[in-house]
Amino acid sequence: MRALLVEDEELLRLQLADSLRTAGYTVDEAPDGREALYLGREYSYDVGVMDLGLPEIDGIQVIQTLRDEDKHFPILILTARGHWQERVAGLEAGGDDYLVKPFHTEELLARLNALVRRSAGFSSPTIKAGSIALDTSAQRVTVDGAELELTSFEYKVLEYLMLHPDQVVSKTVLTEHIYEQDCDRDSNVIEVFIGRLRRKFETVAQLKPIETLRGRGYRFVAPDESR
């Protein structure tokens, strides 16, 4: 999952970015509202973390502008402001949830995880598709109760596909959502990850839940629905 992290306090931003990456997120960082607006317009995100008290452009204005431009990824508001009216203003501008500083990183990660799930239409932390179960909290995948051993990138690819079932997802989109902004991206590596996932599903349970649509991308289909 790709996250936009907007925080002007450098130490806090670096700490949060490290925590998000450890939790499996691909993270783009912005120290002010102007950079946040540029990144939000330029790239596709699964979730955002937005401080309200930003230099250049206020966080509320950033959120409002992104929503006006049909950028609908869920946004968690961070604020040190004590007045409830400002938190309400952030939510009314288009924010989806908020945390007041100081906060526990574990709570932030849990809230982000919930926002990503709900935006994809899932209320439970465990996404089930036939005999396949993907626990987004533990980042664990099982097939008929047996754990499927995956690398971090294999998990990221599978998680994104399972959060978008029956949708055609291109290699470009997958690449954007699992690699950092400044990484040397090679979309051909996606084919390698897909190939590994297929072999593991076939070896463990003779399943073929990932379809290839030539020239278009990949589609995850629940095992009991796949052909």
- pLDDT by residue (tens digit) across 149-200? 999 999 999 999 999 999 999 999 999 888 876 555 666 888 999 999 999 9
Residues for the chain: how many in total? 227
User: Domains (ranges, CATH) in the chain?
Assistant: 2-119 (3.40.50.2300), 126-220 (1.10.10.10)
Q: Which of 190, 158, 154 is nearest to 172 (CA)?
A: 190
pLDDT of 85-139, one tens digit each?
888 899 999 999 999 888 999 999 999 999 999 999 998 999 999 999 999 989 9
Per-residue confidence (pLDDT) for residue 223, from 0 to 100:
83
Higher pLDDT, 96 or 205: 96
pLDDT confidence band for 83 (50 / 70 / 90): low
Per-residue confidence (pLDDT) for residue 227, from 0 to 100:
38
Q: Are 130 and 121 in contact (CB under 8 A)?
A: no
Residue 198 CB partners (closer than 8 Å, separation 6+): 208, 210
Give the tokens for residue 91: 């939510």
